[in-house]
Amino acid sequence: MRQFEFEAKESFRKVGLSIPRGRLAKSSEEAERIATELSCPVILKVQVLSGGRGKAGGIKRAENPKEARVIADQLLGMEIHGHQVRSILVEECLDIAQEIYIGITVDRANRRPVAICSGMGGVDIEKVAEEYPEKIARLAVNPLMGLREFEARRLVKIAGFKGKPLLQLSRIVMQLWRVFSDNDAELTEINPLIVTTDGEYIAADARLNVDDSSLFRHKALMERLETGVAELTELELRAREVGMTYVELKGDIGIIGNGAGLVMATMDAVHYHGGKPANFLDVGGGATAERMTQALDIVLSHPDVKGVFINILGGITRCDEMANGIVASQKNLRREVPMAIRLIGTREKEGAEILRKAKIPFLETMDAAARLIVEKIVGGSSA
């Protein structure tokens, strides 16, 4: 579960990390009041659960309270990557001497956390990772022992720091580890960690994603899911209400599968052939024909979707049930779009026969289906 920046910063504050002075505003009048109290130029940052806020126009500077009110009027209610802006974080501007990146995430391949540090923080940290991988230090953490102080110092030293900055940054890494472990996080990061002209270290931005499997231990987050769910789009809410996992993305090929791993592999296959997934949708195990019909309706409700790739690996999910759902949905589809269908596993022969009788084409391999849907949507495979 993703947390808003202001929520993540509250978790940072609890472990002693320095954050900018500021408060959350839900109206332009409130933004003006906060700017007046801070008595300095301020940054207004939209609170949505999406990256790239700055590039989308969601982070702006105001020199005075009146300007803060005008900008807040512009930001509130706008939409960024499918998320409507309902609140703004108004914070003091910082005098920046250096930007640093510090993060802790889960390395699933090696089944352990990994701590990351770089002296080249900021909005283009992904570009740094691609172009200057040697500028990013990584340290695998023993999940039983946790991150230890000497390891934090080693990480910071590998990143190129020494002397007093090494000691200060290693302390911050340990504080971030507390945030990570206390919140059962999948990811937490400070990007950027600002070194001010006065030598202070301040978390200018904050990110914290909590593992959904641990939410039973976090009462406040569970309550937010049950009552507010402000971070979810309308379609994500619809999917959650019927017990499906759905995440909107920026592409134009709808993805439906059963099982998170299979859906991710399906998305990778589409990417490989030059396509862009429009969503992640997992119908779950043991899905019924009705569930497949619901999944198609949700995916095709997104206006950007130009085609759909359905990939079913039958275990407890039966291929004939999925085929029946696909056939039933044809009568009430919101709109006609190209489809690529692959069914394999439990009762696949029966499923194939159902599709064949309905004259709905299907393929035997994921790669062939991915290639087909990309050819239909973008006009050719890049592989």
29 belongs to the catalytic site: no
Residue 347: partners with Cβ closer than 8 Å, 6 or more residues away? 314, 318, 319, 320, 321
Q: Does position 181 have pLDDT exceeding 70, yes or no?
A: yes
248: in domain: yes
The whole-number average pLDDT for the span 86-92 is: 95
Q: Does position 382 have pLDDT exceeding 50, yes or no?
A: no
- Asked if residue 196 and residue 295 are part of one domain, the reply reads no
Whether the CB-CB separation of 48 and 119 falls below 8 Å is answered with no
- Which of 5, 189, 231, 248 is catalytic? The answer is 189
Main-chain phi, psi angles of 233, to 5 degrees? -75, 170
Reported as a pLDDT band with limits 50, 70 and 90, residue 225 is low
Whether the CB-CB separation of 210 and 179 falls below 8 Å is answered with no
The whole-number average pLDDT for the span 28-41 is: 96
- Asked if residue 343 and residue 246 are part of one domain, the reply reads yes
Pick the last residue of a domain from 71, 92, 113: 92
- Asked if residue 334 and residue 317 are part of one domain, the reply reads yes
25: in domain: yes
Angle at which helices 163-182 and 5-14 cross, to 10°: 110
Residue 233, pLDDT score: 73
Reported as a pLDDT band with limits 50, 70 and 90, residue 241 is confident
Residue 224, pLDDT score: 64
pLDDT digits (tens, 9 = 90+) for 202-213: 999 999 999 877
Residue 82: partners with Cβ closer than 8 Å, 6 or more residues away? 50, 233, 248
- Asked if residue 281 and residue 250 are part of one domain, the reply reads yes
In the sheet that holds 88-92, the strands lie side by side as: 22-25, 88-92, 42-46, 59-62
189 belongs to the catalytic site: yes
> pTM for the full model?
0.65
Cα separation of the two ends of the chain = 35
- Asked if residue 324 and residue 303 are part of one domain, the reply reads yes
pLDDT digits (tens, 9 = 90+) for 143-162: 999 999 999 999 999 999 99
- Which of 5, 7, 101, 201 is catalytic? The answer is 101
- Asked if residue 321 and residue 199 are part of one domain, the reply reads no
pLDDT above 90 as % of the chain: 69
Number of compact structural domains in the chain: 3
Q: Does position 73 have pLDDT exceeding 60, yes or no?
A: yes
- Asked if residue 163 and residue 45 are part of one domain, the reply reads no
Residue 140, pLDDT score: 96
222: in domain: no
Reported as a pLDDT band with limits 50, 70 and 90, residue 307 is very high
The whole-number average pLDDT for the span 104-110 is: 90
14: in domain: no
Q: Does position 228 have pLDDT exceeding 70, yes or no?
A: no
Pick the last residue of a domain from 92, 110, 128: 92
Rounded (5°) CA angle 99-102-107: 145
Q: Greater confidence, 287 or 139?
A: 139
The per-residue b/e assignment along 47-69, b for 16 or more CB within 10 angstroms, e otherwise, is bbbbeebeebebbbebeebebbb
Q: Does position 72 have pLDDT exceeding 50, yes or no?
A: yes
CATH number at 286 reads: 3.40.50.261
The whole-number average pLDDT for the span 112-122 is: 91
Between the CA of residue 23 and those of 15, 40, 195, 202, 381, what are the distances in Å?
19, 14, 21, 16, 49
Residue 205, pLDDT score: 94
Helix, strand, coil percent content, the chain, rounded in steps of 5: 40, 25, 35
The whole-number average pLDDT for the span 124-131 is: 74
Range of 48-57, 215-224, 243-252 with top mean pLDDT: 243-252
Mean pLDDT of the chain: 90
Quick check: helix, strand or coil at residue 339? strand
The whole-number average pLDDT for the span 222-236 is: 64
Whether the CB-CB separation of 114 and 141 falls below 8 Å is answered with yes
- Asked if residue 168 and residue 80 are part of one domain, the reply reads no
- Asked if residue 104 and residue 80 are part of one domain, the reply reads no
In angstroms, the CA 325 to CA 314 distance is 14
- Residue 23: strand pairing partners: 90
Two structure tokens written together for 19: 């954050």
CATH number at 132 reads: 3.30.470.20
Residue 312, pLDDT score: 93
Give residue 215's identity as a one-letter amino acid code.
L
Q: How many helices (H) and strands (E) does the chain have?
A: 13, 17
- Asked if residue 258 and residue 330 are part of one domain, the reply reads yes
Residue 101, pLDDT score: 96
In angstroms, the CA 370 to CA 363 distance is 10
Residue 322, pLDDT score: 92
The whole-number average pLDDT for the span 226-239 is: 68
Pick the last residue of a domain from 66, 92, 118: 92
Residue 187, pLDDT score: 95
Q: Which domain holds residue 334?
A: 234-374
In angstroms, the CA 5 to CA 94 distance is 17
Angle at which helices 163-182 and 149-158 cross, to 10°: 120
Two structure tokens written together for 220: 């406040």
Residue 129, pLDDT score: 72
Residue 383, pLDDT score: 43
Two structure tokens written together for 300: 């095709």
- Asked if residue 365 and residue 328 are part of one domain, the reply reads yes
